[in-house]
Structure 1
Amino acid sequence: MNLGPISAKVLVRLMQQNPNISKVIIPKNQIGDEGAKIISRFIMKNSTLVALDLSSNELTSSGGQAIFNALGYNNSIIDVNLSSFEGLNRNTLGAKGVQPLKTVLAYNLYLTILNVSGNFIGNKGLQYICEGLQQGQNQTLMKLNIALNEITGDGIEILFKIFPSTRIRDLNLAKNPLKNKGIKFIGDLLAKGGLVLESLNLQETQFTHQGAVSLYSGIKRNNKLKNLILDDNNLQGRTLNELSQALWTNASVTKLSLENCQLQDNGCLYLMDGLERNMYLKDLNLKKNSIEQQGAIRIAKLLESNQNSLLNLNLSENRLGDFGGLMIARAFQKNNCLTFSPKYLTQINKLSHDNIAKARGDQCPIQQLEIENLIKTNQQIHQVKLNIEKCKVKKVKVESKFKVIDDRYEMLSKDLKSKFSVVQEASNQLTNIQRDLDFQEQKVDERHLKLLNENEKMFKNEQRKFFKACKENEKTIEELREWREQLRRLKYEKNHERQQFVGTLEDLNKKLYGAEMSYQALFSELQKQKAALQKAIEPEQAVQEIMEEAKEEEQDKKTIKRLRVKKGKKSAKKGAKPNKV
């Protein structure tokens, strides 16, 4: 259709005039960001719209933000599709485009289905979605499609932490490079109890048999998963036995797709061993797996036993060979479960006639029984054709009845046309009034667009100023960093000098302590020598004292003698006798 931004205005007017419109589905157009903003303003006020599909409409991050921000004010939309198909008009929301989902998923209680596949949101975009689911403990989102978004194992680790608290039933992770790391988290998640996940798509997620081990272990313990898609992954290896054991124990998976998984005959044998004990799987896709004659014989053996619940089996684009195909054809005759679609009956009839003619031409006696069986099937097909012819006759009768009803309708429509002409005139008047109102509304819309453009220009100018200020702040921050670096160097140098000074001071203290110890040793030695000298000097002093005392006694004696002599002379003079001493 190639609808552009102007078409978005017309679409909004139509929805305003007709409030009964509940779905807007316009994929593969050129609405663009401008058209998305116009639709988002309508969504904020609308309460009847249920589904919105703007997939592949050349939306970028600004258009995605406008739509998701509008969902924060809407109380009716349950299905949003902003995915992107390969080719023209792709949406490229990126992580920035889904950032508003952080708040929308936390507070919106109506959104049930969300599809943002093919928008390259990456691990950062998935983180915004997980934070929104975790903050408000969202219990309404049931189907999430984030395929083809360059999500890796690190993103799955974030999803692993919050997923058990959600109510998501359908998760599509196809064509993301999860590899073995991401698949390990998926396996651990499936092994947890309390999940409500029923459908999981892991097509082309680039994991091998090494990562599949944890996935098979999770399938063993899970009892809720019903639909599992593992297409376009290399599962060839020793771990196929784990898949067989998982099918033994699992009682919930009803649809399993293993298209282009390089199973070959070995993988097919393991798979059939697991299906022998599984009575729940109904739909199995083994397309493009290089299955040859040995695998076909094992499949035929399983179908003959009727020990399974398979209703649909796809073996197209394999190398079964003539003998393998013959064995499976025989197994179909004994199988009571598998069903054929009526659209293939003509093709089967033609092939059976060709095979009968070929067998008769070759005149192979071994295949006579097969020819008889083909004739029987041909008769059955003929009976089906007769039934179809009977249905056609019934269809003709019903069409004749409808023709009678159409004639009556024409009679009634003629009567209504006259009445309709009166209504038509009134409606023409109303349409003229509506045109005037539309013209006035268009003028108002133009004014609003001008105001929006002016506001955008003002916002861009303010944003430029802000970026300039940020650059100046970055320069000042760089200068501060340089000053801090210089201060750090100075502190380092000062600390180094201080350590050197402390080292030299400790050396001096050690030397001073050694000098004090040597001084004390010398002082004690001098004391000892002094004591020894005193001991040596004491006898000499005693002799001198004795000599001095002797001298003093002699002097005393001399003085006494002198005194006696004087007294004797005096007494002699007086005539007295001298006293004898």
Structure 2
Amino acid sequence: MKIKKNPSPEKSINLFHCLNELGDHSLMNKIQQYVRSGGLSSARLSASQWSAVVFVLLTSEYLDKFKLKIYISISQGQNHMSPDEVLQKLLPVVEASRLAQLSHCNITAEGCAALASALRSNSQLRVLDLTENNIGDKSLTLLSDGLKDPHCKLEKLWLFDCYITAEGCAALTSALRSNSHLRELNLSENEIGDKGLMLLSDGLKDHCKLEKLMLRYCDITAEGCAALASALRSNSHLRELDLTGNKIGGQGLTLLSDGLEDSHCKLEKLWLYDCYITAEGCAALASALRSNSHLRELNLSKNNIGDKGLKLLSDGQKDPQCKLEKLNLSYCNITAEGCAALTSALRSNSHLREMNLSGNKIGGAGLMLLSDGLKDPHCKLEKLWLFYCDITAEGCAALASALRSNSYLRVLVLSRNNLEHASVKHLSALKDNPHSKLETLFY
């Protein structure tokens, strides 16, 4: 009776604790059925019953990760609550969780206003996933106001495909300047463009401690890269940058490389997959590899860098200052000609551990050249992907010989190549050879 009369969720939750201590679980059992069925948006619960739902979830062993989607109905009929309304009812649970997964839930500005309130409330929330919701610039402004609050301790924010433009980036930039806790930001597949990137770059240069920034397919060109390069020179916190699917081009890569060369830049991972890069931009990037000892992972997949670009990059790798450990050059129009320069880099660079050359016309001649590099005692390569590389039996013989003398290669992928049974047999036998460390072979 007290629970039914009490409109305050906080006091109701205290009364539920009392019921538990008295051994009365009747109401709790009924509520748990609603929770397990995921039909909260169509259950027509009273205020006290919603308090019971919150109590059940707050005392759940799975509280660390909250998924809104399992509590909302797929169809939103006349008798169903909207996702925003369900989110508002369950806000105390969001505040008590470390990770709130609200992706694909049709959250709008109304829900974002509630989330902003939760961010201000000194909550436990550290990760917020709003992937594929119709957030838009107005809602992002509301969220950004919550991020700026000194009580907000959010560390990761995912806004993948949320209808955000450059307009919304202005508010987010203000939050980046004032919030020292945000470490990871994903704005991929939003039309922020160069203007949005310029705004974000201004935020990065301030007191921002952001370490990982993902901007995949965001309509960014070389123009935006100038501002980003400036941020790299002044911000020593950014460690990972993903610009996949943007029209960076040679000019954009040259600008970014200038930023990479700066002593203040501590970037360790750079993804430039499908960024319209040619050999033209590789000269500047090679120079950055020589001067920046922090870059550990570089992804240039699906760019037309060709043999000329590979030669330039290989020269950069040979420098003792280069500490690159992972290099992805899949589908880059590389042939056997470029493998000669790469082989030279393998002989002089003991840091490279993983390399992906899949989708290039390496052929038997290219594999023979690479095998010479693998045999060198300075080469410490552990994983090599050569998927769909026009490799034949001829090249496999040289590779098998290299693996007998090189004790570092552990993973080898040769799928979708014209391999003969005998070649595969020789390579498979290496897993039992005491001089070889090969553990995994895909063919």
What range is the shorter-chain TM-score in? 0.7 to 0.9
Q: Quote the residue 2:184 is aligned against.
A: 143
Q: Residue 96 of structure 1 contacts residue 125 of structure 1 at CA under 8 Å; is this kept in 2?
A: yes
Q: Residue 68 of structure 2 contacts residue 87 of structure 2 at CA under 8 Å; is this kept in 1?
A: no
Shift of 1:37: 3.0
Q: Residue 244 of structure 1 contacts residue 275 of structure 1 at CA under 8 Å; is this kept in 2?
A: yes
220, 237, 249: which one pairs with 1:208? 249
Residue 310 of structure 1 aligns to a residue in which SS? coil
Partner Cα distance (1:259, 1:346) in 2: 18
Shift of 1:139: 0.9
Q: Which has the higher helix share?
A: 1
Alignment of 1:119-138 (within 5 A): 119-134=162-177, 137-138=178-179
Shift of 1:321: 1.8
CA gap of 1:195–1:25, structure 2 versus 1, over 3 A, is same
CA deviations 1:151-180 (Å, max 9, x no partner) are: 011112222222222111111111101111
Residue 338 of structure 1 aligns to a residue in which SS? coil
Q: Residue 44 of structure 1 contacts residue 71 of structure 1 at CA under 8 Å; is this kept in 2?
A: no
Q: Quote the residue 2:431 is aligned against.
A: 381
Q: Residue 169 of structure 2 contacts residue 196 of structure 2 at CA under 8 Å; is this kept in 1?
A: yes
31, 38, 42: which one pairs with 2:90? 42
Alignment of 1:67-466 (within 5 A): 67-84=115-132, 91-107=133-149, 108-134=151-177, 137-164=178-205, 165-192=207-234, 194-221=235-262, 222-277=264-319, 278-303=321-346, 305-334=347-376, 336-340=379-383, 353-355=421-423, 379-383=429-433
Q: Residue 227 of structure 1 contacts residue 255 of structure 1 at CA under 8 Å; is this kept in 2?
A: yes
Q: Residue 382 of structure 2 contacts residue 410 of structure 2 at CA under 8 Å; is this kept in 1?
A: no
Shift of 1:6: 2.4
Shift of 1:204: 1.1
Shift of 1:62: 2.8
Q: Counterpart of 2:192 in structure 1: which amino acid? A: I
CA deviations 1:264-299 (Å, max 9, x no partner) are: 111111010110104411011101101011112221
Give the % identical residues: 22
Partner Cα distance (1:5, 1:327) in 2: 63
Shift of 1:352: 7.6
Q: Residue 290 of structure 2 contacts residue 322 of structure 2 at CA under 8 Å; is this kept in 1?
A: no
Partner Cα distance (1:232, 1:43) in 2: 40
Partner Cα distance (2:410, 2:350) in 1: 23
CA gap of 1:347–1:11, structure 2 versus 1, over 3 A, is farther
Q: Counterpart of 1:184 in structure 2: which amino acid? A: A
Q: Residue 19 of structure 1 contacts residue 48 of structure 1 at CA under 8 Å; is this kept in 2?
A: no
Shift of 1:213: 1.6
Shift of 1:109: 3.0
Q: Counterpart of 1:274 in structure 2: which amino acid? A: G
Q: Counterpart of 1:6 in structure 2: which amino acid? A: S
Q: Counterpart of 2:223 in structure 1: which amino acid? A: K
Alignment of 1:495-514 (within 5 A): none
Residue 228 of structure 1 aligns to a residue in which SS? strand
Q: Counterpart of 1:204 in structure 2: which amino acid? A: G
Q: Counterpart of 2:220 in structure 1: which amino acid? A: L
Partner Cα distance (1:186, 1:262) in 2: 23
Greater RCO between the two (CA within 8 Å, min separation 6)?
2
Q: Residue 102 of structure 1 contacts residue 128 of structure 1 at CA under 8 Å; is this kept in 2?
A: yes
Shift of 1:356: 7.9
Q: Quote the residue 2:388 is aligned against.
A: none
Alignment of 1:485-564 (within 5 A): none
Residue 163 of structure 2 aligns to a residue in which SS? coil
Shift of 1:12: 4.2
Q: Residue 304 of structure 2 contacts residue 333 of structure 2 at CA under 8 Å; is this kept in 1?
A: yes
Q: Counterpart of 2:138 in structure 1: which amino acid? A: K
Partner Cα distance (1:388, 1:293) in 2: 24
Point out where structure 2 has 5 or more consecutive residues left out of the alignment.
Answer: 1-35, 44-49, 384-408
Q: Quote the residue 1:367 is aligned against.
A: none
TM-score with structure 2 setting the length = 0.72
Shift of 1:83: 1.0
Q: Residue 156 of structure 2 contacts residue 185 of structure 2 at CA under 8 Å; is this kept in 1?
A: yes
Partner Cα distance (1:356, 1:41) in 2: 60
Q: Residue 127 of structure 2 contacts residue 157 of structure 2 at CA under 8 Å; is this kept in 1?
A: yes
Point out where structure 1 has 5 or more consecutive residues left out of the alignment.
Answer: 85-90, 358-373, 390-581
CA gap of 1:380–1:83, structure 2 versus 1, over 3 A, is same
Partner Cα distance (2:413, 2:93) in 1: 54
Q: Quote the residue 1:437 is aligned against.
A: none
Residue 313 of structure 1 aligns to a residue in which SS? strand
41, 46, 70: which one pairs with 1:6? 41
Q: Residue 43 of structure 1 contacts residue 74 of structure 1 at CA under 8 Å; is this kept in 2?
A: no
Q: Residue 223 of structure 1 contacts residue 251 of structure 1 at CA under 8 Å; is this kept in 2?
A: no
Residue 280 of structure 1 aligns to a residue in which SS? coil
Residue 204 of structure 2 aligns to a residue in which SS? helix
CA deviations 1:238-287 (Å, max 9, x no partner) are: 33211111111111010111111111111111010110104411011101
CA gap of 1:325–1:26, structure 2 versus 1, over 3 A, is farther
Q: Counterpart of 1:231 in structure 2: which amino acid? A: Y
CA gap of 1:42–1:235, structure 2 versus 1, over 3 A, is same
Partner Cα distance (1:388, 1:4) in 2: 52
Residue 144 of structure 1 aligns to a residue in which SS? strand
CA gap of 1:232–1:145, structure 2 versus 1, over 3 A, is same
Provide the alpha-carbon RMSD of the alignment.
3.4
Residue 261 of structure 1 aligns to a residue in which SS? coil
CA gap of 1:4–1:291, structure 2 versus 1, over 3 A, is farther
Q: Residue 203 of structure 1 contacts residue 229 of structure 1 at CA under 8 Å; is this kept in 2?
A: yes
Shift of 1:99: 1.9
CA gap of 1:284–1:291, structure 2 versus 1, over 3 A, is same
Partner Cα distance (1:67, 1:290) in 2: 47
Shift of 1:93: 1.1
CA deviations 1:204-253 (Å, max 9, x no partner) are: 12121122221110011144111111111111143321111111111101
Q: Residue 302 of structure 2 contacts residue 331 of structure 2 at CA under 8 Å; is this kept in 1?
A: yes
Q: Residue 94 of structure 1 contacts residue 119 of structure 1 at CA under 8 Å; is this kept in 2?
A: yes
CA gap of 1:302–1:150, structure 2 versus 1, over 3 A, is same
Q: Residue 65 of structure 1 contacts residue 99 of structure 1 at CA under 8 Å; is this kept in 2?
A: no
Q: Counterpart of 1:65 in structure 2: which amino acid? A: A
Shift of 1:381: 1.7
CA gap of 1:273–1:168, structure 2 versus 1, over 3 A, is same
